[in-house]
Amino acid sequence: GESVGLHLPTLSVQEGDNSIINCAYSNSASDYFIWYKQESGKGPQFIIDIRSNMDKRQGQRVTVLLNKTVKHLSLQIAATQPGDSAVYFCAENRVNNNAGNMLTFGGGTRLMVKP
Amino acid sequence: ETGVTQSPTHLIKTRGQQVTLRCSSQSGHNTVSWYQQALGQGPQFIFQYYREEENGRGNFPPRFSGLQFPNYSSELNVNALELDDSALYLCASSPGTSLETQYFGPGTRLLVL
């Protein structure tokens, strides 16, 4: 079935190192992808997005890469800080005649930053 | 902060009861989506409202229903609560129904005993 999933459930990095969180998707018709960060007890927070006509997009300390050939998405965080510790979700956003503009989330990756 | 607010923050109900959760969308956003997030999992799409009409629905039974009001705020109603309904319920607003970023509120934590 259609799914958005993540390779690693937990990622532990040293403060100051770069982090890479990966995500695989199975629906080649996906149009738009978003990375969200969710801290304990809070709702998902938008980090960065990318449309299917792009392969790279950069934000402040974050970069998203999209490889449509292998249906793979990654989030790179530069100089990881303790405040980056959270669960990260990739989400697929596709206009669906039956379900409107729905997001399909993966199971999440927990990023732990060691001081 | 996204400007999306939800109430209440926490709620405890017993099996068989009914619950209403509320969401105020971000200013300028006319679309509200509801998601259920079980512990340790990603959010699951329940349904979406656009200009007071249901615009799409995920794989949830009819006992999950909703409303959207003229000011674009929204309610999620769940009847005949089951233990598995215990979850974080998230509301997200967006400026439209095309491929728009959805901004989430803090959620309502529902516990069904």
The tens place of each residue's pLDDT in chain B, 113 residues long, gives 679 999 999 999 999 999 999 999 998 899 999 999 998 889 999 999 998 999 889 999 999 999 999 999 999 999 999 999 999 999 999 987 776 789 999 999 999 99
Q: Long-range contacts for B75-80 (Cβ within 8 Å, ≥24 apart)? A: B75/B20, B75/B21, B75/B22, B75/B23, B76/B20, B76/B21, B76/B23, B76/B34, B76/B46, B77/B18, B77/B19, B77/B20, B77/B21, B78/B18, B78/B19, B78/B21, B79/B18, B80/B16, B80/B18
Over the stretch A13-45, which tens digit does the pLDDT of each residue have? Answer: 999 999 999 998 878 788 899 999 999 889 999
Nearest CB neighbour to A46, from listed B31, B35, B101: B101
The rounded percent of chain A whose pLDDT value lies above 90 is 64
pLDDT at A106: 81
Nearest CB neighbour to B99, from listed A43, A44, A95: A95
Positions in chain A short of pLDDT 50: 1-3, 5-8
- Interchain CB distance below 8 Å, A93 and B99: yes
> Which residues of chain A make contact with B94, given a CB cutoff of 8 A?
101
What does the angle CA B87 – CA B90 – CA B91 come to, to the nearest 5 degrees? Answer: 155
Q: List the single best residue of A40, A102, A104 to mutate versus B (max B Cβ within 10 A).
A: A102
